[in-house]
A and B are shown apart, each in its own frame.
Chain A
């Protein structure tokens, strides 16, 4: 188990390094010079060259990348060209909002979707199963920004029961009430998606030989479902949720823009708009790390649940 754990951790670090290198090269291959943008069109070539030298942009690309990683290891993500603030500070101000939103969205989707899928599989072809099926497909088909706008319209504008925008001024209750609508909008299609996946995989597992054997020993159906079938049936769901976090990192952009919530999504949109490369790069590093962390976590949970995965 520990061997698997350390191996997986090193693999995760390697993935982050490769991904960040690629993204660094890609961003710097895009036409447009940060020095020119920063100093404006009237700057003299000498001034630009001086700034470039200060930012380390006159060095060859491999040296720049090595320097970038060197800074990264010291916890330095560079400096915002416009405000002169530390990029690390700017990004980490926003990270908790996005992480909270994604975790809440996936969390409530899993809490409802997995039991719903499980129930649908056990009570196959009943009314509950059929209604769940239709609703699931509908919620999957509706884009999350449409869901966000309607949720806003109904609960904030018409019913006026929930705040429309922002992330609240602090305080647990305030934070929670500001989280409900965005988390609903982002997570609702995941309820349907997870319910469908769990139902399909549960039906498959319930048809497997070992379930038949458990039945041949007269084990109570409840024990068969919860101890024999469900732990196997949720395995693909956990992997899916790990990848889902990556999907939501981009999906959350909509929610953050619609609900005017601070967050990484909104930050990236602003930074790309204004070609604020150091901030873009900082966001990229953080989201890549979050993504790799989520998929690694999913793999580790899988390994905890499935002894066969530990040895793979």
Chain B
């Protein structure tokens, strides 16, 4: 095989460096068929997940972040169709793989944690049966697989794992079930974990616990995580890099510190302004972003955020903005204002 799996010399820490990224999504576009016409749910989405790093995908509900995760592992609804772009993972284009080869990757090189732990586990099979099932490729005997399952349940903080293994999902609380799902996702020792809003269905205390758990385990195991969330605080806490999505497009991406300290896109700025945790003054009304997400059946010309942008100007109307660096080469935003030289011009114009 020409595309041998890149040899990983232990977990990569910090910099992406010269090593090729584990996952790189390039210009991915995806449509959903609907009675009202084709919904262009993802348009020209590009991002990278470097080895051993946690990349957060943030955005409002319906911005396409969960669709993106489903598209990567190719578990999309029947009415979804990838209309362009590629998803390169460990040297192969996932969008071009046969279903058989794709299934071979699932649960081996990549795994997924789902949003709702209450429905993610099979209700009529024991935790043991499900945890042994996902190891079906392993040559180890049942005893060994059971031992691994118990060890992993112990790692994620399930008390008395040897006995609890015989229990059914409904005998666990929501937080415990999500821990089990995380244990399963990591048990197969994947290179990439797709976490699709794993804390959304949990209350705030549990959310913190689950995020800390994920962070600890990711550091121990050295896998990469794509963490989908609408919660900025969680992303700031957990992720190394952030990708901000709006209405099916990536509007800004970069290292977490740069994005939170120096947001380059008006949408990211507005989003951060709306985060209750960051509001410093006492207020009776929580800030919101006025307006609504555009209709994705007939995508408007120009910038996708123009109808809600505070800094909209004539160029945004007709011209799709390019992707420009903000704080540094890795921190980029899709906005006319970030075009080199242009920000200054606009500031002058204002004056």
A residues with CB within 8 A of B: 208-210, 212-220, 223, 227-228, 231-232, 305-308
Q: Which of B103, B116, B119, B124 contacts A218 (CB 8 A)?
A: B103
Interface size on B, as a range, is: 20 to 34
Measured between beta carbons, the chain B residues less than 8 angstroms from A306 are 123-124
- B80-126 with Cβ < 8 A to chain A: 103-108, 111-112, 114, 116, 119-125
| A214 and B122 contact, Cβ closer than 8 Å, known pairs A219-B134, A308-B168 | yes
- Number of residue pairs A-B, CB distance < 8 angstroms: 71
Q: Which of A208, A212, A218, A227 contacts B125 (CB 8 A)?
A: A227
Q: Are A307 and B170 in contact (CB under 8 A)?
A: yes
Report the Cα distance A154→B120, complex, angstroms: 52
Measured between beta carbons, the chain B residues less than 8 angstroms from A214 are 122, 133
| A217 and B107 contact, Cβ closer than 8 Å, known pairs A212-B75, A307-B168, A307-B170 | yes
Measured between beta carbons, the chain B residues less than 8 angstroms from A213 are 112, 114, 120-122, 181
Which residue on chain A has the smallest CB distance to residue B126?
Answer: A307
B184 within 8 A of A: yes
Measured between beta carbons, the chain B residues less than 8 angstroms from A215 are 75, 103, 106
Nearest-CB distance from B13 to chain A (Å)? 28
The 4 closest A-B pairs by CB, nearest first: A217-B107, A218-B106, A218-B107, A209-B119
Measured between beta carbons, the chain B residues less than 8 angstroms from A216 are 73, 75, 106-107, 111-112, 114
User: Which of A209, A227, A232 has most chain B Cβ within 10 Å?
Assistant: A209
Measured between beta carbons, the chain A residues less than 8 angstroms from B150 are none
B188 within 8 A of A: yes
Report the Cα distance A220→B188, complex, angstroms: 15
Which residue on chain B has the smallest CB distance to residue A232?
Answer: B124
Nearest-CB distance from B300 to chain A (Å)? 33
Measured between beta carbons, the chain A residues less than 8 angstroms from B172 are none
Measured between beta carbons, the chain A residues less than 8 angstroms from B184 are 217
Nearest-CB distance from B113 to chain A (Å)? 9
Measured between beta carbons, the chain B residues less than 8 angstroms from A231 are 124
Report the Cα distance A163→B290, complex, angstroms: 81
Nearest-CB distance from B189 to chain A (Å)? 13
Measured between beta carbons, the chain B residues less than 8 angstroms from A212 are 75, 114
Nearest-CB distance from A238 to chain B (Å)? 13
Nearest-CB distance from A182 to chain B (Å)? 36
Report the Cα distance A307→B168, complex, angstroms: 7
Q: Are A219 and B116 in contact (CB under 8 A)?
A: no
18 contacts between A and B (CB under 8 A): A209-B119, A209-B120, A210-B121, A212-B114, A213-B120, A215-B75, A215-B103, A216-B73, A216-B75, A216-B112, A216-B114, A217-B106, A218-B105, A218-B108, A219-B133, A227-B129, A232-B122, A307-B170
Q: Which of B105, B119, B129 contacts A210 (CB 8 A)?
A: B119
Report the Cα distance A278→B170, complex, angstroms: 50
